[in-house]
Each structure stands twice: as C-alpha cells, then as structure tokens.
Amino acid sequence: MSFKASAVPLHLELKGSVILRAALTAVHGALAVLALLAGADRPTTALVFALLLISLGSALFWVRRPATLVWREDGAVEGTIWRNTLQNAAMQPATFESQRLVILHLEESDTGTRWRVPIAHDSVDDDTFRRLRVRLRASTP
C-alpha cells in the first residue's frame, strides 16, 4: 500500500449493530412464520420452527459479541473476537465490501482457523468505516 494513511494500523473497536440485529430478526421471523403456515399440523414444522428460533437467538448473540481488531501495516490482522485471540490472520479473497456492510474473511496463519467478521456501518464510527473500505479496495489485487 503506497498511501501514507494506509501505512498506519487501522484500529477497529466493533460494537453491536442495530441494523444487523434487525435484519437477522426479520429474516428469521419471516422464515418461522412461513414454516408455521406451510404445515401447522406436521410435527416436523414444530421442529423447524424451534430450530429457527434457536438460530435467531445464536445469531443475535453472535452479532452482539465485542471485537477489537487491528489491521497492521504489513497486512496482518490481530485482535480479539469475544473471548478468542486472533493472531497473524491474513485477509482472504472472499472478503465482501459494500457501502453499508463489510464481511471480513480472515484465516490465521498459525492454526488455520477461519473467521468471518461482519462489520455494519453502524458498528464503528463513520471515519473508521470509510478508512476500512478504502484500505480493502487498495489491498485488493
């Protein structure tokens, strides 16, 4: 990266995203209603409904978990996600970037553990989100 702004580490202090929580609630709620309408008299429908509610609860918990990431000058990412420590993670090509959402796909070089970190524009301040998107565009071949 040849830009001077890209030569400093990018610190991301992620907070819970209202937008992601609302989207996950809407999608899971709609699927639960469709499951009930598809066959209320079938026992498998109750199981599908219960699984949707469980996945909604885990998804909402996952979106709320705190994360602190630092994208270093050499391109490696380190930090903490919930209670897990992330060290020497490399950005994967499947990373998604749009105007309101970034999904980082990271892989630790030591353990091979893969992480997917959704970052909505309301998870960080506007300047940090803009810097993240610029850095992603600059680092993509």
Give residue-wise pLDDT tens across range 74-127. 888 888 877 778 888 988 888 889 898 898 888 998 888 898 888 888 889 999
Q: Is the pLDDT of residue 1 over 60?
A: no
72 and 109 assigned to the same domain:
yes
72 and 115 assigned to the same domain:
yes
Q: What pLDDT does 130 receive?
A: 92
Give residue-wise pLDDT tens across range 26-68. 777 777 777 677 666 666 766 777 777 777 776 666 555 668 8
d(CA 72, CA 6): 9
Alpha helices per DSSP H over the chain: 18-38, 43-64, 126-139
Q: What pLDDT does 55 receive?
A: 73
Domain range spanning residue 12? 5-16+66-139
d(CA 40, CA 35): 8
Of 80 and 141, more confident: 80
74 and 134 assigned to the same domain:
yes
121 and 70 assigned to the same domain:
yes
